Amino acid sequence: MILGGRENWLRAKGSKNESKVSFVELFFDLVFVFSISQLAHALAEHFTPLGALEAIMLIFAVWWVWVFTAWVTNWLDPDRMPVRIMLFTLMFAGLILSASIPEAFGEKAIYFAGAYVFMQVGRSLFTVYALKDASQANHRNFLRITSWLVLSAVFWIAGALIEGEARVILWLIALAIEYAAPALGFRVPGLGKSTTADWDVSGAHLAERCALFIIICLGEAVLQAGKTFAEQPVTPLIVAVFITAFVGTVALWWIYFQFGHERAAHRIEHDDTPGSMARQAFTYAHIPILAGIILSVVGDEFLFAHPHDAADMHAAAAVLGGPAVFLFGNLWFKGVTTGRPPLSHMVGLAGLALLLLTLPMVVVYQLGILATAVLVVVAIWEFASLNRVVPSARSAGDH
């Protein structure tokens, strides 16, 4: 029965749907299309050191609320009515959170912090209740998680009620608490410490969830490039910038999806401690991947707005920053799941660094073309090197 005992709220182990991403989860993710768009616009409008710090903090918060929900639906079945209602409730709060992003450090701070705390603490309390009779080990695990989230909530709300630098400091403390908690095993006096053995996860499910989230982010890059192109007068230069932005996004897709996502799912499914690997590969390593895509969107907007400007360090941060952060994230992700960081990615990072030597001899659109060329080389290198070997051997880094 849909509304039966709480043990029925869990995904059925060993069933064909154990690792399947449900339509409800995909529907939930649509809220984050709005979040990614808001984050990209906020960073583009405030592309300063302080603006970058604030954007990074918001990216960390948005990712954390999403990935914690992905972990929860790894155990709870979204097709069960109580779990589905929980996700719909989180969606509504997520809309409030997303709408508040442009003024999260201003007049809408309390809306952002309130929605965030509601999503984090509310979801965890629901999971504690759902697991009480179904899994004692995981029930205690989520009691610990909830304790840490309640602690960080104090700093989120306090920061929202205080203006200026104090807000930034308090929210940094809140993020530090939440990001340190998994590494510390969510240790709580009286409740003990969680171990990676407690995190019996479906690698295929988490891999697909993260992959679909990356698709959302890349989709925002495509949509933003198309929207900006449509608003520009059609000139050979603008067409060249548009092609550069599109090819760059395709290269990002290729680098992440061609082999990395598939290998990660396979490795985690067959690892002795899937929880530990999943925490590194998905919970942490995907943060720079997400940030790199968002920064690439900002870089594309910069290309359209200032194609003829001489490329300086400000332009380099916008145009080269996204590809560099994205490659670093993939280097981390693939290194964790294969045990061998891809050489192509390290060379790509070195290539992007060398492009700094071209400043200020090139203009912005030329720098964009060079950065995209580096991404294309990395994508081709990885494809060519890994495509030579049989599928079972693709667990190693490329040559």
340-381 pLDDT tens trace: 889 999 999 999 999 999 998 999 999 999 999 999 999 999
Mean pLDDT value of segment 109-115: 98
Mean pLDDT value of segment 26-53: 93
Check whether residue 169 and residue 258 sit in a common domain.
no
Does residue 235 belong to any structural domain of this protein? yes
Check whether residue 269 and residue 309 sit in a common domain.
yes
Give the domain extent around 290.
203-393
Closest by CA to 78, choosing from 4, 141, 27, is 27
Q: Looking at residue 364, which CATH number applies to its domain?
A: 1.20.1410
Q: What is the mean pLDDT of the chain?
A: 89
Check whether residue 122 and residue 215 sit in a common domain.
no
End-to-end CA distance of the chain: 53
| The pLDDT of residue 397 | 47
Check whether residue 191 and residue 207 sit in a common domain.
no
Determine the 3-state secondary structure of 314 from DSSP: helix
Check whether residue 67 and residue 142 sit in a common domain.
yes
- Structure tokens that stand for 32 in this block: 């984050």
Does residue 398 belong to any structural domain of this protein? no
Calculate what percentage of the chain has a pLDDT beyond 70: 87
14-38 pLDDT tens trace: 666 666 888 999 999 999 999 999 9
User: Any idea what the Cα angle at residue 205 is, between residues 77 and 95, rounded to 5°?
Assistant: 65
Domain count of the fold of the chain: 2
Check whether residue 97 and residue 209 sit in a common domain.
no
Check whether residue 10 and residue 28 sit in a common domain.
yes
If pLDDT is split at 50, 70 and 90, which confidence band does 272 have?
low
Domain closes at, from 198, 232, 257: 198
Check whether residue 125 and residue 19 sit in a common domain.
yes
Domain closes at, from 164, 198, 232: 198
- Which of the two residues, 187 and 261, has the higher pLDDT score? 187
Task: Quote the pTM value.
Answer: 0.91
Q: How remote is the C-alpha of 323 from its chain's centroid?
A: 15
Query: Could you count the other beta carbons within 10 Å of the beta carbon of residue 27?
Result: 14
Check whether residue 241 and residue 187 sit in a common domain.
no
Check whether residue 263 and residue 170 sit in a common domain.
no
288-309 pLDDT tens trace: 999 999 999 999 999 999 999 9
Does residue 138 belong to any structural domain of this protein? yes
Check whether residue 315 and residue 348 sit in a common domain.
yes
Domain closes at, from 152, 170, 198: 198
Check whether residue 373 and residue 225 sit in a common domain.
yes
